[in-house]
Structure 1
Amino acid sequence: MLKDSPTESRFVSRISISLPEKLLVELDSMVGDRGFQSRSQAIIDMLHKSLMEHRREFGQDVMVGTITLYYKNAVPGLQKKIADLQAVHIDEVISSLHIHLANNETMEVILVQGPASKLQDIADEMITCRGVISGKMQLIAALIPPLHPLPEKSSKKG
């Protein structure tokens, strides 16, 4: 079973891989540039990202993440359309933050949680809106704990 975080495991398994010399040189360069403590740490990071991407693309796991949008404010109705999409998907959209940038542009970050395929559909709806310059969804295999559980409904009438 895969752990959600490579640091959660108490047990470590050793494996061996063979790399072309050029790839090894690039790996060592990246390890140094990014400040990893070892090749293993860098490879664990890359594998974790790749496995999360696989789970996002092919799984139904409930995940948490962000949808980041970069768009032009001047496009009529775009901000309302994005707000309306968030309201339609209120079960998956946790919160959002936007910041106005220079040149009448905005960056918006939307925190989401739900089944990966549903979140991808929501991201696609937002990213493909006319006026969105670019967008990206980033997911991790973690959950946000319930903020405030709703009271159970009583079946008694009184």
Structure 2
Amino acid sequence: MQRVTITLDDDLLTTLDALSEHHGYRNRSEAIRDILRNALVQEKSQQADRQGYAVLSYVYEHEKRDLASRLVSSQHHHHDLSVATLHVHISHEDCLEIAVLKGNMHEIKHFADEMIAERGVRHGHLQCLTAEGDE
């Protein structure tokens, strides 16, 4: 393990310390290592030729005109990426879906963008991991 010195402005250091405390890191080094690891995983997952896994989560208005059928149709169109899907009713108006995906990262990203861009999808997030051994 190497020791390095970095310079941070006061506001950024305050933010780092707050983040470290909030997440229970014992020291700044652990927090910075995790931040860097997460950034590297996200960078690798953006490479089109990579195989990997992803978790797509989104909240949508289930009564929005034909939205549920458009989402299901898109999922069927990309059935080869789907490992599992969880559907949760979070309120009278909204549903949360979580899809575990596996395949080419470019195809996964395209599918996620398509789902999140649907009118009536309120929030969407894609968390990517490259396949083990690809790191």
Which category of TM-score, normalised to the shorter sequence, fits these structures? Answer: 0.7 to 0.9
Q: Which residue of 1 aligns with 2:42?
A: 53
TM-score (norm 1): 0.75
Could you tell me how far 1:115 is from its partner in structure 2? 1.9
Deviation >2 Å, runs of 4+: 12-16, 20-26, 56-60
Cα displacement (A) at 1:83: 1.5
2:93 paired with 1:109? no
For 1:151, the equivalent position in structure 2 comes to none
Q: 1:79 aligned to 2:102? A: no
Match of 1:27 among 9, 16, 35: 16
Alignment counterpart, residue 138 of structure 1, candidates 91, 106, 127: 127
Displacement of 1:16 in angstroms is 2.5
- Provide the secondary structure at the position in 2 that maps to 1:63: strand
Say if 1:104 and 1:21 are closer, same or farther in 2 by CA, change over 3 A: closer
CA distance in 2, matches of 1:100, 1:80: 16
Aligned length: 132
One-letter amino acid of the counterpart of residue 126, structure 1: M
Cα drift, residue 121 of structure 1? 0.2
Q: Which protein is richer in helix relative to its size?
A: 2
Distance 1:13 1:62, change over 3 A: farther
Higher relative contact order (CA 8 A, sep 6+): 2
Q: Where does structure 1 lack aligned partners over 5 or more consecutive residues?
A: 1-11, 144-158
1:119 to 80, 92, 108: 108
Read off the aligned partner of 1:31 and give its amino acid letter: S
Report the structure, 1 or 2, having the larger strand content: 2
Query: What percentage of residue pairs aligned between the two structures are identical?
Result: 27
Task: Supply the distance in 2 between the matched residues of 1:21 and 1:131 (Cα, whole angstroms).
Answer: 41
Matches within 5 A, 1:2-21: 12-21=1-10
Partner Cα distance (1:76, 1:23) in 2: 45
CA deviation profile, 1:99-132 (whole Å, cap 9, x unmatched): 1121321000011011221111000111111221
Look up the SS of the partner of 2:2 in the other structure.
coil
Choose from 47, 57, 69 the match for 2:58: 69
